[in-house]
Chains A and B, each alone.
Chain A
């Protein structure tokens, strides 16, 4: 048996045992279905929520649109949209600021105290302000997510620029590089491993914040859906939603990790 297949099967062992035990105890009636439904019921609910709720109506929608009209897919798309928008705004502000703060001691001295005060405030603590400032809907949610993504990217970018090996700067100066070339062709790529580590943490934070923000400010998305399901005591729907959140998070992290491996293919740490 190939080693990878063996690893894979080994990794499945404990989840399968747990699922079987769970299913057995649910069928034996150890607890009510409203508290903990059987995994088969969760799977069935998940599948139903994934499928389109209405039959296709060729007059008003395309086939692809219909395929993606299931509630769970719509919610996943809404959540993903908020994560990406918030992340792009947060990281988009953090990257240039981090590069400047790393490269220019004066700017670092000017901005660092403020950043150190703001950084420990959890994005969740901005919820009341976010609602006051932006009302309900996507804007407060995107605002909170961008705060969640901002600091990891900022701190890593600063650390990255400050850790650029001096020998690269000497070599570039020796080859005649001016300030701009030095920055774009040497400092930026040398900082890239740090920036991407920050991006990965930032996406993780953004994903936590999106779920929380959807529980308060909006009326769609995966966070909203599981909170809504609680009101009807639909525990199968809650768990189906949680599993979807897990899968989406895994997909996002895998995508970022793939991007990492491609952008850092030159990096020593990644040779295997």
Chain B
């Protein structure tokens, strides 16, 4: 049985006197333990879909359910990692990581133990009592990942989490994420516009169309891990997906020119 069921999801916004259809008739089933990437150019609705699963912004029609329960609001069963990290700058690294458990009123020693374990796991031990402003982007994203791992939620939602990082830090965190995922068996729904990133990480890549956002291609990635981005198979898939994404990117660009002309 699927863990996340997305049924006929439709989402539209009113923008500048015209209605923008961000998502149209999305149907997806995501299985427990699956690593799924949502791939597409900006404006394709991939973040909108993720926010709908997170419960931040519900669909205009259709239904999303997790383990058979309809989603109506955000909750710690679907931990979210944001591109902008969204760490609380007034809390230390340890306080940020422990905040979710504190909300659940877990005893202090249990929180301390869990936080210590996550600090070790994500190599953050030396930064325990620092504030986020003292950390690099990569370190901040480690803290943000630790913060949702502390919730021990079965599902991780990630919105271009490594988009603002340099290439080396990015690869490093991708490997870290794969290590955590393979050990924990969590379901991951990961938004990216990087074709290479999606092939490197995912079991399955959902390529989305530019407005209205629909599913253009549901692509399984069967390459064995660890994947080698320089291998022939990797690049063959990259070319194929690149073609699909480029088509949508061109529609995006054409649309932007048109809007600019009207304005």
Contacts and interface: CB of A to CB of B under 8 A. Distances in A.
A176 B88 contact: no
B88 A174 contact: no
Interface stretch (A18-26, A42-50, A260-268): A260-268
A177 B131 contact: no
Q: Which secondary structure dominates chain A's binding surface? A: helix
Contacts of B80: 170-171, 174
B131 A181 contact: no
Q: Which of A168, A174, A271 has the most CB of B within 10 A?
A: A174
A167 B89 contact: no
A259 B198 CA distance: 48
B103 A175 contact: yes
Interface string A168-202: 10111111111001000110011010000000000
A4 B132 CA distance: 30
Given A176-B75, A185-B99, A171 B86 contact: yes
Given A181-B103, A265-B131, A267-B133, A173 B56 contact: yes
Interface string B74-104: 1110111010101111110000000110011
Given A190-B90, A267-B89, A268-B133, A171 B82 contact: yes
Contact of A175 (B56, B82, B89, B151): B151
A176 B82 contact: no
B103 A167 contact: no
Contacts of A170: 56, 74, 80, 82, 86
A176 B133 contact: no
Contacts of A177: 103
Interface of A: 167-168, 170-178, 181, 185-186, 189-190, 192, 265-268, 271
